[in-house]
Amino acid sequence: MSGLFDLGFYNVQSSTPFKKRRDAVRHYIAQGEGAGLNPNPFFDVEWYRSTYPDVVSEGRNALFDFLSRAPKYERNPSLGFDCGWYLLQYPDVAAAGVNPLRHFMSDGHREGRIPSPLNIAVQAPVRNFNLTRAATPQEGETELSGRFDVAPVPGAQRKIGVWDAAATGKQDFVPGSRAELFPPRPYTAVFRDVGIVGGTRLVITDTNTVFSDEIATFWEAPGWCVRPHGYKIDGSGTLSVALHRRYPSHIERGAHLMHEYASNYFHMITELLPRLIAAEDGGLDPDLPLLIQEGLHPNLLELLGVINQRNRPLVALRSRQIYTVNELHFISDVASIQDVYERPRHSEETVLHRGLTRRLADRVIAALDPGEPPQRSRRLYVRRGSRYRGLLNEQAVEEMLIREGFEVVLMDGLSVAAQIALFRQARLVVAPTGAAVTNILWCQPDTPICVLSAEHDAMPVEIWVQLGEIAGCGVTSMRCKRAFDRDDIYSIHDNYTVDLEELKQTIRGLEA
């Protein structure tokens, strides 16, 4: 049983937490298994018994039966862990002759190995997840899983807050669409004794409920993807999540300012930082620390510093880790940029908050590039480089544009101030779709923008059109021939080839 019994995980399920592992193991053998308690996050006793009924009919302990299957391990510990597949996928584990589940729990999960071909380990839940027990101080680390009902934050759909809905441009949408529900009018909700997950917008209660305005609004939409992608939502709207806990991880009070894509320049500027502006407009307590996720790029922290005008302290939380909070001030979403990969996007799936984003741009420019606007004299091409959504003929594109008087610029390594100064001088910008296009927000009004992207039904070209409107710039989208290098769910990130003559004519049209 060594390596397969997680004391912290077991204590979350048990009504009486154990200090010593051996006492917990004895309890599991004598009573715990019969009560449906699981020895670790990837061993589901109830699933094992129903899948292998001889275990019940012959009165065997499920975990002992699993261990007896060495060395072939033809039985799986749960729906979310496939022993045969794991050994086939990782021959070094098979050669070592170790129990595949034990290897995954001790080393594999840290090495990024996948527990099953479907990667559905999060669907092996803790029965009767209890936040209070999960918060019980313990030693070391533990893995948790849970299944939760999803609900909007109470009051959010009643449009409480400080901003008029028309400020988000929702008047453009058809009545009855999801745009009437998300994003809500900005609000800050105060919760007592809840859980939050680092790097996500989930708020977990002790009633097996997760509050999420976004998931509650979109989960039934065909082709919509829940964030983060490792989480799952079933046909009844039940969310399955895998959580991590390192002790101690308790927070007395703070304002929630996290997002699944906060480490991305575009999402930080359009989704996260406008939330703080709205919260301050609503009278957010100036003494509250801001709860952010760890590992943010220095440029993103600099932007946060500009918007954090009250100099609130920052508390960085680990991604995917659950924290308990005595007093949580949850700042609502103010934008909606949904993940859709396999169908054309609907209009309500992309909504930027025009007013808040414009105010953000003005603050950032005033702080990092003050003074009179410079002369617009530079024609810029923003290099994409060797990354996904790449231009297969980018060298030819650059050579042609250089002949047309363009400068080739690369954003990697540039400070925010340098990027702002560069785009404020732009007379015309050509850029492949990607986070670097966010810099058009710093352009002076009436700067023409051409955004290149692959010809894909789900490509969110409207993102750049809306951002251009906020900046006062016209954005032209040039759809380019796909390479079909990938045909999976993420084919939206396919490479593409630019038609040089079409690009040349597009540029001339923009400058006419």
Per-residue confidence (pLDDT) for residue 308, from 0 to 100: 96
Q: What is the mean pLDDT of residues 224-247?
A: 81
How many Cα atoms occupy the beta-carbon half-sphere of 163 within 13 Å? 29
Q: Which fold has domain 369-511?
A: Rossmann fold (3.40.50)
Per-residue confidence (pLDDT) for residue 299, from 0 to 100: 97
pLDDT classification of 499: cutoffs 50, 70, 90:
very high
Per-residue confidence (pLDDT) for residue 141, from 0 to 100: 66
Q: Domain ranges for the chain, please list them.
A: 7-123, 131-337, 369-511
What is the Cα–Cα distance from 400 to 421, expressed in whole angstroms?
25
Q: Is the pLDDT of residue 81 over 70?
A: yes
Q: Is the pLDDT of residue 83 over 50?
A: yes
Who contacts 478 (Cβ-Cβ below 8 Å, separation ≥6)?
A: 450, 451, 452, 453, 498, 502, 503, 506
Tokens of 509: 């049209």
Q: What is the mean pLDDT of residues 27-42?
A: 88
What is the Cα–Cα distance from 500 to 241, expressed in whole angstroms?
46
More confident residue, 495 or 166: 495
Main-chain phi, psi angles of 476, to 5 degrees: -105, 130
pLDDT classification of 26: cutoffs 50, 70, 90:
very high
Main-chain phi, psi angles of 452, to 5 degrees: -95, 140
Q: Is the pLDDT of residue 202 over 70?
A: yes
Percent of the chain with pLDDT over 70: 88
What is the Cα–Cα distance from 474 to 448, expressed in whole angstroms?
5
Q: Is the pLDDT of residue 117 over 70?
A: no
Q: Mean pLDDT for the chain?
A: 86
Q: What is the mean pLDDT of residues 409-417?
A: 95
Tokens of 291: 């709860």
Main-chain phi, psi angles of 365, to 5 degrees: -65, -45
Of 178-192, 222-236, 367-381, 412-426, minimum mean pLDDT range = 178-192
170: helix, coil or strand? Answer: helix
Q: Is the pLDDT of residue 321 over 70?
A: yes
Closest to 392 measured CA to CA, from 324, 330, 482: 482
pTM exceeding 0.95: no
Greatest mean pLDDT among 32-41, 134-143, 397-406 lies in 397-406
Q: Is the pLDDT of residue 346 over 90?
A: no
More confident residue, 192 or 262: 262
Per-residue confidence (pLDDT) for residue 168, from 0 to 100: 40
What is the Cα–Cα distance from 428 to 378, expressed in whole angstroms?
7
Q: What is the mean pLDDT of residues 325-345?
A: 91
Per-residue confidence (pLDDT) for residue 159, from 0 to 100: 35
Query: pLDDT for 127-173, tens place per residue?
Result: 445 665 555 555 666 666 677 889 888 755 433 333 333 344 444 44
Per-residue confidence (pLDDT) for residue 14, from 0 to 100: 74
Q: Is the pLDDT of residue 90 over 50?
A: yes
What is the Cα–Cα distance from 262 to 194, expressed in whole angstroms?
22
**Burial of 31 (C-beta count, 10 Å sphere; 0-12/13-18/19+):** exposed
Per-residue confidence (pLDDT) for residue 198, from 0 to 100: 93
What is the Cα–Cα distance from 507 to 428, expressed in whole angstroms?
9
Per-residue confidence (pLDDT) for residue 180, from 0 to 100: 64
The 3-state DSSP composition of the chain as helix, strand, coil percent (nearest 5) reads 35, 20, 45
Tokens of 74: 């033809």
Per-residue confidence (pLDDT) for residue 41, from 0 to 100: 78
Q: What is the mean pLDDT of residues 108-128?
A: 55
What is the Cα–Cα distance from 76 to 3, expressed in whole angstroms?
16
Q: Is the pLDDT of residue 126 over 50?
A: no
Of 111-125, 172-186, 320-334, minimum mean pLDDT range = 111-125
Q: Is the pLDDT of residue 354 over 80?
A: yes
**What does the radius of gyration of the chain's CA atoms come to, in whole angstroms?**
26
Q: What is the mean pLDDT of residues 234-244?
A: 82
Q: What is the mean pLDDT of residues 209-223?
A: 90
Per-residue confidence (pLDDT) for residue 388, from 0 to 100: 81
Q: What is the mean pLDDT of residues 214-235?
A: 86
Per-residue confidence (pLDDT) for residue 125, from 0 to 100: 35
Per-residue confidence (pLDDT) for residue 165, from 0 to 100: 33
Using the structure block, give the residue that is written with the tokens 């009018």: 185
Of 85-99, 161-175, 344-358, 415-429, minimum mean pLDDT range = 161-175
List Cα–Cα distances, 426 to 351, 440, 442, 443, in angstroms.
Answer: 26, 9, 10, 7
Q: Is the pLDDT of residue 236 over 80?
A: yes
Closest to 181 measured CA to CA, from 189, 190, 173, 191: 173
Q: Is the pLDDT of residue 119 over 60?
A: no
- DSSP string computed for 267-333: HIIIIIHHHHHHHHHTT--TTPPEEEETT--HHHHHHHHHH-TT---EEEE-TTBEEEEEEEEEEPP
Interstrand relation of 314-317 and 141-151 (parallel, antiparallel or unpaired): unpaired
Per-residue confidence (pLDDT) for residue 110, from 0 to 100: 72
Q: What is the mean pLDDT of residues 276-297?
A: 92
